[in-house]
Amino acid sequence: MSAPTTARGIAAEVRSGARRAVDVVEEHLVRIEAHEGDVHAFNLVLADAARAQAAAIDEAVAAGRPPGPLAGVPVALKDNLCTRGIPTTCSSRILEGWKPPYDATVVQRLAAAGAVFVGKTNLDEFAMGSSTENSAFGPTANPHDLSRVPGGSSGGSAAAVAAGFAPLALGSDTGGSIRQPAALCGVVGAKPTYGLVSRYGLVAFASSLDQIGPFALDVADAALLLDVLAGPDRRDSTCLAETAPSASARLGEGVDGLRIGVVRELADAEGLSAEVRGRLTEAADALSAAGAKVAEVSIPAAVYGLSAYYLIAPAEASSNLARYDGVRYGLRAGRAAGTGDDPADVSAMYTQTRSAGFGAEVKRRIMLGTYALSAGYYDAYYGKAQQVRTLMVRDFEAAYRDFDVLLAPTAPGTAFELGAKTADPLTMYLNDVCTIPSNLVGHPAMSVPFGGGSDGLPLGVQVLAPALGEAVMFQVAAALEACAPPVPVSPMRGGSR
CA angle at residue 491 from 417 to 283, to 5 degrees?
70
Nearest alpha-carbon partner for 127 in 199, 230, 75, 193: 199
Looking only at the bridges linking them, the beta strands covering 42-45 and 116-121 are antiparallel
Q: Mark whether 78 is an active-site residue.
A: yes
Cis preceding-peptide flag for 172 (omega within 30 of 0):
no
Residue 148 CB: number of other CB atoms within 10 A?
Answer: 21
Q: Mark whether 421 is an active-site residue.
A: no
Q: Which residues contact 471 (CB under 8 A, 6 or more apart)?
A: 244, 245, 246, 247, 249, 250
**Helix ranges, 67-218 (H):** 105-112, 155-162, 179-185
The residue from 92, 130, 135, 153 that is catalytic is 153
- Partners of 121 in the β-ladder: 42, 78
Helix-then-strand count for the chain, H and E: 16, 11
The residue from 78, 120, 191, 421 that is catalytic is 78
Contact 241, 232 (CB under 8 A): yes
Burial class of 101 by CB neighbour count within 10 A (0 to 12, 13 to 18, 19+): exposed
Nearest alpha-carbon partner for 284 in 274, 296, 273, 300: 296
Burial class of 384 by CB neighbour count within 10 A (0 to 12, 13 to 18, 19+): middle
Q: What is the spatial distance between Cα 37 and Cα 35, in angstroms, rounded to a whole number?
A: 5
> How many C-alpha atoms does 194 have within 13 Å on its Cβ side?
16
Contact 21, 58 (CB under 8 A): yes
The residue from 177, 248, 438, 447 that is catalytic is 177
Cα 96 versus chain centre, distance: 22
Contact 477, 463 (CB under 8 A): yes
Write out the catalytic residue numbers.
78, 153, 177
